[in-house]
Amino acid sequence: MTFAPVLIVRRYQALGLILFGILLGSVALFSRDSDFFPTRPPYPNRIALTFDDGPHPEFTGRILRVLEEHQVAATFFVVGKQAARYPDLLKAMDRRGHELANHTYNHPNLALLHPTDVVRELDETRGVIESVTQRRQRFFRPPGGQYKASTLDTANRSGYQMILWTVFPQDHVPAITPETIYERVMATARDGGVVLFHSGVEATLAVLPRVISDLRAKGFQFLTVSEMLEEKINPVVRSAWYFPGNGDALAAGPANKPSVKKTVNL
């Protein structure tokens, strides 16, 4: 009988310790789950990588391998005559989860074409893409960013939506260095931005892994153009590439501000 109070106290102490341990564990689990389970890093920014002028027999496969290695889905604005010539590359883009879009059939200056010819350029490329992938597409990018109000109106009435860009490293310029491309991308990347690369540039391929890794380290998530349109992103940036003429693109000089009145030569 003399030991009963001691045993009772010890039981209450043990119960208290157990309850305290459960409470402490719950707090730790819910407030600091990253200490216990691996979680995806936060992505406060979204950006789309786009590639013009392919598919290219030498470069496209290499671009696809880099994107696959880094688990990035991109949007390819393909030239119709190239797509018709290299359907296997078109299939590879689609099979690996990339988005295919329209860069006209012959890569002309759309601002100089009659509306009928504008529609023909876009329709022929759409036909190639759909015959190879069985996927409907509606996005196009005018070669060189060259267009005028009537071009845009014609394309819209034919079921197309123009996509421009906000990050323009000018990787098409002869003798450009990977470092220059890198600096221009990193200086102008913003939430909701669209990067314009070209498919046949050695310097772009050389720097692409670094660009992807460093943008991701800065909190960027890579989306296709379609996925970007589903996101709530910076409306000022979005207006630069999705609503031409309704807003100014962000910052890297005149060539980074495509509009109805001003174009750039690529």
Q: Which of 52, 53, 98, 171 is labelled catalytic?
A: 52
Q: What H or E segment, with its residue span, contains residue 99?
A: strand 99-102
Of 260, 224, 226, 220, nearest in space to 240 by CA: 260
Residues 50 and 189 sit within 8 Å (Cβ to Cβ): no
Q: Which of 56, 103, 172, 198 is labelled catalytic?
A: 198
Catalytic annotation on 52?
yes
Residues 132 and 89 sit within 8 Å (Cβ to Cβ): no
How far apart (Å, rounded) are the C-alpha atoms in residues 71 and 61? 15
Q: Tokens 């994107």 identify what position?
A: 67
Q: Tokens 């157990």 identify what position?
A: 18
Residues in the chain: 266
Q: Tokens 């759909």 identify what position?
A: 130
Residues in contact with 230: Cβ distance below 8 Å, sequence separation at least 6, in sequence order: none
Of 215, 206, 181, nearest in space to 196 by CA: 181
Catalytic annotation on 94?
no
Q: What amino acid occupies position 253?
A: G
Q: Residues with catalytic annotation?
A: 52, 198
